[in-house]
Amino acid sequence: MVLVVVMGVSGSGKTTVGSRLAAKLGWKFYDADDYHSLENKKKMEEGKPLNDEDRMPWLCALHDILRREDAFGQDAILACSALKKMYRYVLLSGAFAIASNQPEESGENEALKILFVHLDGPTDIIAGRLEKRRGHFMPPELLKSQFDTLEPPSAPENFITVSLEKSLPEIVLEIESVIFQGEAFLE
């Protein structure tokens, strides 16, 4: 059973990559944008970046979805910005991580095993994508705040970084290779 979070700033291709990978593998796919509260969407539409307080209930709800899929042994992919290490901790451990500022290591709510796939690339390419995107609540003006917030994953987090400058088939194949070579979950 594998849980993957495709992460990165707005416009990095999380939904496109995550949905394509899920379709190819026959796995469930969730887009974190679908779970933002109306208040969060309105705030972003107004050009105001979300803060930690705005994001925590949303991240806990996403953790609950991943926890449910894990309990049912269902492979799943979530497209989620997961910009800060703390946000990734919440995806791993839910509300426990908020209080402790770290994922839970053991106990009845042991941290989920998640592979974080960080889609990374130049600001100008991402900005160009955002300029072309229509009908999304996240305006291009907030891209700078996303990069300012971003804490790229680092050891000991379970992650890979994939260049968004590659083609979509190349990106999907790279992620798929890591998953099936077992590199994603070395203990």
pLDDT in tens, 134-157: 555 555 566 778 888 899 999 889
| DSSP structure string for 127-162 | HHHHHH--S-SS-GGGHHHHHHH-----TTS-EEEE
Only one residue has tokens 């107004």, namely: 46
CA angle 23, 70, 118 (to 5 degrees): 55
pLDDT in tens, 102-126: 665 545 568 899 999 999 999 888 8
Q: What pLDDT does 186 receive? A: 42
Those residues of the chain that have pLDDT short of 70 are 99-109, 133-142, 183-187
CATH code for the structural domain at 3-184: 3.40.50.300
Q: What pLDDT does 53 receive? A: 92
Q: Which residues contact 13 (CB under 8 A, 6 or more apart)?
A: 119, 129, 164, 168, 171
Q: What is the largest CA-CA distance in the chain?
A: 46
Rounded to two decimals, the pTM is 0.88
